[in-house]
Amino acid sequence: MLDLDLSQQTEAVRSTLNTHGVSAALALLNDRTPYRFTALYKLNGGEMRAVHAFDRTSEYRTWLTAVPLERSFCQYAIEQGEFMTAHASTDPRLRNKPHAGLIESYYGRVLTGEDGRAWGTFIHFDLEPCSIDPRETDFLREVLPLFRPYLD
């Protein structure tokens, strides 16, 4: 993580959103972590649908587009406000819980609309085990509300 003043980092995200859009802002946030993927998933009935996704390797992955809520780690982020696992296959909280099975590490935070209801989630995730620095989760709590005007 960059050792810059948090207000400068927040302004960098704000500026990127305003001048280059959501995808560029996701790329910026992804670059601050070891995760391969960073995305915004919208809750649509019983499904989580990717509306913006960044893949560090720039490969096209159709399996990223939609997942049933009950098989997604996003269900826990929506329920709890925030959810993370560095190694899903060994995480005792996830034993006997249905999930997609491909994702090994996940950080997710619920995104809310102007009405305060769950719109969906912001997520970092990977097929390999990895984790997120607690300072980065603090930063995300600060900057994710900047995405609210861009949620459709």
What one-letter code names the amino acid at 130? Answer: C
- Backbone torsions φ then ψ of 32, nearest 5 degrees: -85, -5
How does pLDDT run across 27-51, given as a tens digit for each residue? 999 999 999 999 999 999 999 999 9
Q: Which residue has the tokens 């490969």?
A: 59
Banded pLDDT at 2 (limits 50, 70, 90) = very low
Judge contact between 131 and 33, C-beta under 8 A. Answer: no
6-150 classified as CATH 3.10.580.10: no
Residue 87 C-alpha from the chain's centroid: 16
User: What's 105's DSSP letter?
Assistant: E
Strand segments (E) across 28-81 = 37-44, 47-55, 66-68
Confidence (pTM): 0.91
How does pLDDT run across 113-151, given as a tens digit for each residue? 988 899 999 999 999 999 999 999 999 999 999 999 999
Domain boundaries, the chain: 6-150
